[in-house]
Structure formats: structure tokens, C-alpha cells
Amino acid sequence: GDSVTQMEGPVTLSEEAFLTINCTYTATGYPSLFWYVQYPGEGLQLLLKATKADDKGSNKGFEATYRKETTSFHLEKGSVQVSDSAVYFCALTQPLYSSASKIIFGSGTRLSIRP
């Protein structure tokens, strides 16, 4: 079945460092891909999405490009801030207009940013 694998954390970086959190997926067809973020004390919230190959999702300075040839959707940010400290979840659905039961989540990557 479909699955998502993301890099294990925790990831600790200094402020203004470049961030990459790797995510790869296994799926038939053309899934939609997502990154969610969970800030301390809050619920998961959608950060960005991409619905077809070569699409780039972006939000709050974060970007991720849907790479079908490498089945990847890595999350990147050029210069992280302390406020980016959170847990990041990669996810997919198939197709986009799917019910909540069809969301496949990764295990999450905890990111800590040092001032």
C-alpha cells in the first residue's frame, strides 16, 4: 500500500541555517503531497501542498517540490528562525478529494532552532 517515509529527527540547527527535511513516498498513480506543521501546544496544520509532478508548494518561506522521478517531496527553507521550531509531518492522499481516512502520514520530524 501507499506509504510515506521521512527523515528521523530530531534536527537541530542554528538560526539562519538552511533546512532540508527529506520525505519520500511509495504510491501508485499520482498522489497529492502535503507538509503539515505542529507548533508546540498546537494542532497539526497544513503548511503547503502539491498536487501534480513538478508542482512546487510554498508557504511561510518553506518550499517543497513534487518530484515523481525520485518519489520525493523534500521540505526546504533558506533561513530558519527560532519560531520554526516544531514537528513537521509529510503526508499524501490519493486522490486529492479524499476522505480523512485516506491521508497517509509520516512519523514526523522534530525541528529545533538554536538562537
Partner 1 sequence: EPEVTQTPSHQVTQMGQEVILRCVPISNHLYFYWYRQILGQKVEFLVSFYNNEISEKSEIFDDQFSVERPDGSNFTLKIRSTKLEDSAMYFCASSDFSGQAAEKLFFGSGTQLSVL
100 binds partner 1 (CB under 8 A): yes
DSSP-derived pairing of the beta strands 23-26 and 104-105? unpaired
In angstroms, give the least distance from the CB of 14 to partner 1: 26
In angstroms, give the least distance from the CB of 18 to partner 1: 26
91 binds partner 1 (CB under 8 A): yes
When the beta carbons of 18 and 39 are compared against partner 1, the nearer one is 39
String of DSSP letters for 57-89: EEETTEEEE-BTTTTB--EEESS--GGG-EEEE
Q: What is the rounded CA–CA span in Å between residue 54 and residue 10?
A: 28
Contact letters (x/-) for partner 1, 31-70, by CB under 8 A?
-x-x---x--xxxxxx--x---------------------
CB 105 within 8 A of CB 3: no
